[in-house]
Amino acid sequence: MNLNIALLPGDGVGPEVLAQAVKCLQAVEETFNHNFIYREALVGAIAIDKKGSPLPDKTLQLCKDADAVLFGAIGDPKYDIDPNAKVRPEQGLLKLRKELGLFTNIRPVKVFPTLIENSPLKKEIISGTDFTIYRELTGGIYFGEKKLNEKGTVASDLCEYSEKEISRIAHLAFKAAKNRRNKLTLVDKANVLESSRLWRKVVTKIGESYPEVNLEYLFVDNAAMQIILNPSQFDVILTENMFGDIISDEGSVIGGSIGLLASASVGDDNAMFEPIHGSYSQAKGKDIANPIASILSAAMLLEHFGLFEEAMAVREAVDKSLEKGIMTPDLDAKSQYGTNQVGDFIADNIVDSDDDFNINDENIDLGKSTII
Ligand code: IPM
Ligand code: MN
């Protein structure tokens, strides 16, 4: 298959983790005879520094012309501490989502059996967790009208949803539930918010066309509690933009590290794949960031194009790295392995699943490459 992939490394650890995902895609090309073309462009704080805009026109065009976008991370502390900043890196990502029409963000939350001890939660609680969040991505409070009065003392953000915005993602979520365990939980705040009541009405109606799917409703505050108390009860969670943002970070705790969670953002014409973690600027350039979320985002890209065997090869190589303890320090504080080495191991194992990549302890002590 020929694919044009736009690469947006972005900020912080974005470039480092994205490079590992590209290594893995190149391993897939080599092993399965595909031809992927990669074109890189600026986004985020680095794009503001170099071009004065968090999403330069050239970047947007490149993404529109590509078959898929692979995204690194966005954000820089210098903007986080400045509420007066007029231009913010995050605007680049939000505009990209909107312009590409990526209305559905899919975030799978699963526990890797080998990492069950890594979670801060008890293993009897998290074992068997396997759910997917369908987060609406181009509407709601993120995109509603924003106001600040002249004195700068009163502000508001409007949360608006239309029937159409709700129904297009709801259909995708019901279809996903049908292919999984036939359970869909709508997370909202319908006891307080008018927009949530519209979600309930629209989703309930659509549910009639999916009689095999068991539709349940949960208020978001209760959902936040249930995700920690009993995560294995969930199959597909459908929710609006901001609730989805919050509960997906919460969900990432279950697996032991946010560095493991991948996501796909899809619309009618475009698709983008990115880790759910942020730019983690403190780790930038230190070779400690976990590349697995980025690598698994590449696996989701492959699945999106029907390359299931290829995606499976990536997932199996990731499992193997975890089984062998070839992981970054977020998963094992004593780990000797860096971002690059984990990426190399996974890429090598895609090419040859018997590649056991001898680990040379002597070299670890010398601070040299451990891969021989
Ligand atoms: C995410 C991020 C973004 C969001 C930020 C960077 C704008 O937190 O993808 O979850 O809030 O959507
Ligand atoms: Mn988030």
**Residue 39, annotated ligand binder?**
no
With 0-12 / 13-18 / 19 or more C-beta atoms within 10 angstroms meaning exposed / middle / buried, residue 246 is: middle
- For residue 85, what pLDDT is reported? 83
Q: How far is CA 190 from the centre of its chain?
A: 27
User: Which residue numbers are catalytic?
Assistant: 142, 189, 221, 245, 249
**Residue 157, annotated ligand binder?**
no
Q: Does domain 1-111+277-372 have CATH number 3.40.718.10?
A: yes
For 18, residues 6+ apart whose C-beta sits below 8 A from its C-beta are 7, 8, 9, 10, 70, 71, 72, 294
Distance 350 CA to ligand 1 centre (A): 30
Distance 89 CA to ligand 1 centre (A): 11
Residue nearest to atom 9 of ligand 1 (CA): 276
Q: Which of 90, 142, 240 to mutate to test the pocket of ligand 1 (most atoms within 8 A of CB)?
A: 90
- For residue 368, what pLDDT is reported? 43
**Residue 135, annotated ligand binder?**
yes
The CATH superfamily of 120-254 is Isopropylmalate Dehydrogenase (3.40.718.10)
Q: Does the CB atom of residue 6 touch ligand 1 within 6 A? A: no
Q: How many DSSP H helices and E strands does the chain contain?
A: 14, 12
Atom of ligand 1 nearest to the CA of 249: 10
Q: Give the ligand whose atoms come closest to the C-alpha of residue 278.
A: 1
CA distances from 372 to 134, 148, 225, 352, 363 (A): 42, 59, 47, 15, 9
The Cα–Cα gap between 267 and 104 comes to 6
Distance 245 CA to ligand 2 centre (A): 5
Atom of ligand 1 nearest to the CA of 245: 10
Q: Does the CB atom of residue 90 touch ligand 1 within 6 A? A: yes
* CATH code 3.40.718.10 region(s) in the chain: 1-111+277-372, 120-254
Give the CB-side neighbour count of residue 143, counting CA atoms within 13 A: 21
Q: Which of 74, 243, 245, 263 to mutate to test the pocket of ligand 1 (most atoms within 8 A of CB)?
A: 245
Distance 241 CA to ligand 2 centre (A): 10
- What is the value of pTM for the model shown? 0.92
The Cα–Cα gap between 247 and 242 comes to 9
Give me the residue label for tokens 């970054």: 328
Q: Which residues pair with 175 in a beta bridge?
A: none
Residue nearest to atom 12 of ligand 1 (CA): 245
Give the CB-side neighbour count of residue 238, counting CA atoms within 13 A: 32
Q: Could you list which residues have their CB under 5 Å from ion ligand 2?
A: 245
Distance 245 CA to ligand 1 centre (A): 7
Q: Does the CB atom of residue 74 touch ligand 1 within 6 A? A: yes
The Cα–Cα gap between 264 and 173 comes to 13
Residue nearest to atom 6 of ligand 1 (CA): 90
For 157, residues 6+ apart whose C-beta sits below 8 A from its C-beta are 141, 144, 145, 146, 147
Give pLDDT tens digits along the chain (372 positions).
999 999 999 999 999 999 999 999 999 999 999 999 999 999 999 999 999 999 999 999 999 999 999 999 999 998 877 778 889 999 999 999 999 999 999 999 999 988 998 889 999 999 999 999 999 999 999 999 999 999 999 999 999 999 999 999 999 999 999 999 999 999 999 999 999 999 999 999 999 999 999 999 999 999 999 999 999 999 999 999 999 999 999 999 998 888 999 999 999 999 999 999 999 999 999 999 999 999 999 999 999 999 999 999 999 999 999 999 999 999 999 999 999 999 999 999 999 887 665 554 444 444 444 443
Q: Does the CB atom of residue 245 touch ligand 1 within 6 A? A: yes
DSSP states of 124-142: HHHTT-EEEEEEE-SSGGG
Atom of ligand 1 nearest to the CA of 263: 9
